[in-house]
Structure 1
Amino acid sequence: MSSALLVMDVQRAIVDIADTDADSGYLPRLRRAIDGARAANIPVIYVVIALRPGFPEVGTHNRALNRIAQAGLFVEGAPGTEIHPDVAPRHRVLVERLFPQWADVVTVDEWEKTIAPQ
């Protein structure tokens, strides 16, 4: 396999800030892309931001993450961290990236060998 659909930045808190135009059609278009990928047997991988309480993974030099931590956003399980229900997975979420590992690259081949068979 050489393709996968990565669904990113669709946690409720992000969508509520970024997609303020209810008529944008963004979420319905994304839902169609997700459903189309599944129909074509293309893996759909959801990527979320999830920080641990106390933010131990946030370095002092990362201004963006420090602002997120100061605002108390994206703590595992907190309101707003869930994937927006309009595009939420209809099946088990296969990949959840926690900081600081977010920058790690997982190839589709690695994903198939380790996560997909489970």
Structure 2
Amino acid sequence: MSASRTALLVMDFQNGIVQRIADDSVVAAAARAVEAARAADIPVIFVRVAFRPGYPETAASNLSFSALSQAGDAFTQDNPATQVVDALAPRADEPVAVKRRVSAFTGSDLEVLLRGAGADSLVLTGLSTSGVVLSTIRQAADLDYRLTVLSDACADNEPDVHRVLIEKVFPKQAQVMTADEWVKSL
């Protein structure tokens, strides 16, 4: 059996989401993880949520996304609000997957990128804990990835929801640790 290959997922750390959810410490924790992954030759894959102009991917029946068509171009793929924040800027050799739903896998080429990287273990960071992180953990677990969640490199608008997910839900499918604990383990 071959050695395990890890990839770091940096999910939805984009301008329009960071300004609503994260404090500076969450972005800083994610930045430490990105820096350590790069130093350890661990692939870093960025994921952002964005849509085509006119939002053809959003169905009226989808409560989460149907209101976006009223948001003008705020969540379109070229809007500055959907770009990765400068503090975590991807390098030219780091892929950015654009997703069209909550999970990082749905409507993106993430699975193809992970296969190309030979990844079987994922380390997750993201905004929000109850959105992209939860949905991605569930789908990644069903796809048999080994999972780690960096608790301080995730955040949610609802601190109690974040705490319950990190302390009670995620440990059933993932190892949960801080970014600094993960960095020290490399």
* Residues 1:90 and 1:107: Cα distance change in structure 2 (over 3 Å): closer
Looking at secondary structure, tell me which structure has more helix per residue. Answer: 2
Question: Is 1:112 the counterpart of 2:117 in the alignment?
Answer: yes
Structure 1 gap ranges (5+): 114-118
Task: Indicate conservation of the 8 Å contact 2:7/2:114, yes or no.
Answer: no
- Matched residue, 1:54: 54
- What secondary structure does 2:70 align onto? helix
Q: Deviations over 1:80-109 (max 9, x none)?
A: 111111111133441322426951661665
- What secondary structure does 1:14 align onto? helix
* Residues 1:74 and 1:109: Cα distance change in structure 2 (over 3 Å): closer
1:1-118 correspondence to structure 2 within 5 Å? 1-19=4-22, 21=23, 24-72=24-72, 73-99=74-100, 102-103=105-106, 106=111, 110-112=115-117
Deviation at 1:76, TM superposition (A): 1.4
- What secondary structure does 1:47 align onto? strand
Q: RMSD of the TM alignment (CA)? A: 2.4
Task: Indicate conservation of the 8 Å contact 1:6/1:44, yes or no.
Answer: yes
**Residues 66-75 or 9-18, more deviating:** 66-75
Structure 2 gap ranges (5+): 119-186
TM-score by length of 1: 0.78
Looking at secondary structure, tell me which structure has more strand per residue. Answer: 2
Deviation at 1:26, TM superposition (A): 1.4
Deviation at 1:25, TM superposition (A): 1.4
Question: Deviating runs (4+, > 6 A) in structure 1?
Answer: none
What amino acid maps onto 2:15 in structure 1? Answer: R
What amino acid maps onto 1:26 in structure 2? Answer: V
What amino acid maps onto 1:55 in structure 2? Answer: Y
Deviation at 1:53, TM superposition (A): 0.5
